[in-house]
Amino acid sequence: MGATVNKTTETAFEPLLQFDMEMEDFLSDWHHCDHVSSYLARMISHNRTDPVRHSNFFSSALNELLEVSFRGGTTDGKIGLSIYRQGATERVQLNFPCPPGQVRFYREAVSRTRESDAQARYLDAISNDLAPSRESVLLDLALNYDARLRLDEDAAPAITLIVDLPLEGMVS
């Protein structure tokens, strides 16, 4: 299905920052998610061509990814976030607890971001759903941010979303 991680590419990205938090704490202060995304985006965007625009794009994308983990709703375990850089691309690795019944959903949703009808499904989802679904958020990242998404299931009962965001190319 192509949803696994090619770990040979991991060494090409340089680490920028990382944090871990108890999922229960993350969910209890959900209203701070936007502040966390903005703060982290400013930290990693300071040396980009247009730091303000880069920070705005990165903050929006990161906020959406954090919302995907929030919608999983599992309070047990930890959420882990790592951000890496390789040239014009930032890589976000978001690890969060995932009940076995939801793993298939993520596997299929990530795989569908690469299918030829992704744009049609995205437009249908945003025109019919009252609130963005987890799948429409992932499609949004793939289509509007030119993100490449993968899934790592090695850390069960958690999953890791790996999202490469070539934002420097978008803003320069």
What are the pLDDT tens digits along the chain (172 aa)?
Answer: 344 445 554 568 999 999 999 999 888 887 788 999 999 999 999 999 999 999 999 999 999 999 888 887 688 899 999 999 999 999 999 999 998 888 999 999 999 999 999 999 888 888 886 666 888 899 999 999 999 999 998 877 899 999 999 998 775 5
How far is it, in rounded angstroms, from Cα 107 to Cα 25? 26
Please tell me the predicted confidence (pLDDT) of residue 75: 83
One-letter identity of residue 57:
F
- CA 3 to CA 108: how far, in whole Å? 8
The three-state secondary structure class of 89 is strand
Q: What is the pLDDT of residue 100?
A: 85
Give the whole-angstrom CA distance, residue 155 versus residue 50.
36
What is the pTM (predicted TM-score) of this model? 0.87
- Residue 148's Cβ-side half-sphere holds a number of Cα atoms within 13 Å equal to 10
How high is the pLDDT of residue 4?
47
